[in-house]
Amino acid sequence: MSQAALPVMSERSPGIAVSRASPVSVLGAMVRNPLDALPPEIFHEPLVYSRIAGSRRILITDPALIHEALVRNADSQLKGDDIRRTLGPALGQGLLTSDGAHWRWQRQSVAPAFRHERLVGLLPAMIAAAERTRDRWLAPDAGPVVDIGHEMMHTTFDIIVETMMSGPGGIDVARVERSITEYLHPTGWVFALSLLKAPEWLPYPGRRKAAVAADYLRSAIMAMVAERRRTGEGREDLVALLLAAADPETGRTMSDEEITDNLITFVTAGHETTALGLAWTFHLLAGHPEHEAKALAEIEEVTEGGAVRPEHISRLTYTRQVFSEAMRLYPPAPVITRTAARDFPLAGFTVPAGTITVVPIYAVHHHTRLWKDPERFDPDRFSPEQAKGRHRYAYMPFGAGPRICIGSAFATMEAVAILAVLLKAARLRNTSADTPKPTMKVTLRPLRELRMRVERREVPVSAASP
């Protein structure tokens, strides 16, 4: 059937679940925690249609429909107003937030930084950063309890600036971390106001602080870019790739502003997500000592009781499964959205231009039709045998289609390296028996700090485990 002949999708379409939640309750939930604004039906239906304040939204969790929307019809979908209003003030028109030709040449320009051979060459820097965190934890004057979220942000930030920008230069690391939190804090308001199509100048709680934070992030990075351009230092990093990039169609190069857009994008997208994934991983492992023991036994076997080295990382398959399963339960980027630039076909209907497509990765990963006992933490779900029968888009922490995360291999390598170094050296225990609620601030953060007690692991695990 041609697309023109397909009926237009609406709340009256047969076989389509419709969210009946009141706009007031959805908007209220969105301000508090956008995860709570997801219609409950989406955890067991393949597609839910919703209309709020005139905005048409379709939420999809069915893997085949996700493929249709994000891969087959990728050209009809733009990042849209939600993303531009939420992230634009900090990330400008960088790789994550741009569309069309501007997105394409930026993606091509930075791709060499993510080739496999280059990533493998970054492993020593990743391991070294994890070892610095280990040494800080085990120093004689260190306190016994850490905020694991903060610790992981510190470690992954170290790694991203070391590997992508050849070091922090004059950037104040603690202030950057604080700025990102302050910037993301009021994003629930931004989502809600964007849904209402409210004017962009409208004030909301936290707006001023967020603007100051964005200004700091941009000015710190801008100064670093100007310095690199001035000195012309020939390092082999992302900054050098961006300085040398030329649009294949026009030959134009990037302005300092455009390079800044991309560096902020990589610094924020490239450390916060991995850090959150790791923080949830440590929290889950502490609550499941049997999986922790299995990961440790693997690490000890592969490293033969010695230090973690770059060549060990690809062999730590169970440790990688643990990280994958933690990101299933707590996907660091829990929701992705697109706005239809033109009509496109989906599930036998025409979705009209202007419709917002929401792929709630969090709901995909907890979906009762896709996962047996979805709330259970079970890293064996990612064993080669169990993963074989699964639809490619039943699990998608890094997204799907042409806009898939460019840093997925980087993040996975980094996470496994950090887990290996830290699990070997320390036993981490949750200081509170309950798990904090996950809350969405663009990324999935714990509602309260994940505080953990650090104990030095004295006995090699191979000797200690039965």
Residues near ligand HEM, by CB under 6 A:
95-96, 107, 265-266, 269-270, 273-274, 277, 332-333, 336, 397-399, 403, 405-407, 410-411
Kind and range of the H or E run holding 433? none
Nearer to ligand HEM, 195 or 238 (CB): 238
Q: Min. distance of Cβ 11 from ligand HEM in angstroms?
A: 26
As measured in angstroms, the least distance from the Cβ of 409 to ligand HEM is 9
Coil, strand or helix at 159 = helix
d(CA 117, CA 403): 22
Helix 207-231 vs helix 256-269: crossing angle, to nearest 10 = 120
CB of 359 to ligand HEM, least distance (A): 8
State which residue, 291 or 365, has the beta carbon closest to ligand HEM: 365
* Segment 402-408 long-range contacts (CB within 8 Å, at least 24 positions apart): 402/71, 402/74, 403/70, 403/74, 403/79, 405/269, 405/333, 406/95, 406/107, 406/110, 406/111, 406/114, 407/114, 407/266, 407/269, 407/270
Residue nearest to ligand HEM (CB): 407
Closest C-alpha among 427, 412, 379 to residue 159: 412
Q: Which is nearer to ligand HEM, 188 or 206 (CB)?
A: 188
CB-nearer residue toward ligand HEM: 336 or 351: 336
Compare residues 351 and 406 and give the one whose CB is closer to ligand HEM.
Answer: 406
Q: Between 194 and 273, whose beta carbon lies closer to ligand HEM?
A: 273
Query: Shortest Cβ distance from residue 312 to ligand HEM (Å)?
Result: 20
Look at the chain and count its residues: 466
Nearer to ligand HEM, 91 or 461 (CB): 91
Q: How far is the CB of 119 from ligand HEM (least distance, A)?
A: 10
Between 130 and 461, CB nearer to ligand HEM: 130
Phi then psi for 206, rounded to 5 degrees?
90, -5
Q: How far is the CB of 368 from ligand HEM (least distance, A)?
A: 22
Q: In the complex, what is the shortest distance from the CB of residue 98 to ligand HEM, in angstroms, rounded to a whole number?
A: 8
- Residue 58 is given by DSSP the state E
Please, what is the end-to-end C-alpha distance for the chain in angstroms? 62
How many Cα atoms are found within 13 Å in the side-chain-facing hemisphere of 449? Answer: 12
CB of 140 to ligand HEM, least distance (A): 33
Q: Cα(316)–Cα(134) distance, rounded to whole angstroms?
A: 19
Q: How far apart are CA 354 and CA 375, in angstroms?
A: 35
Nearest Cα residue to 123 out of 410, 455, 426: 410
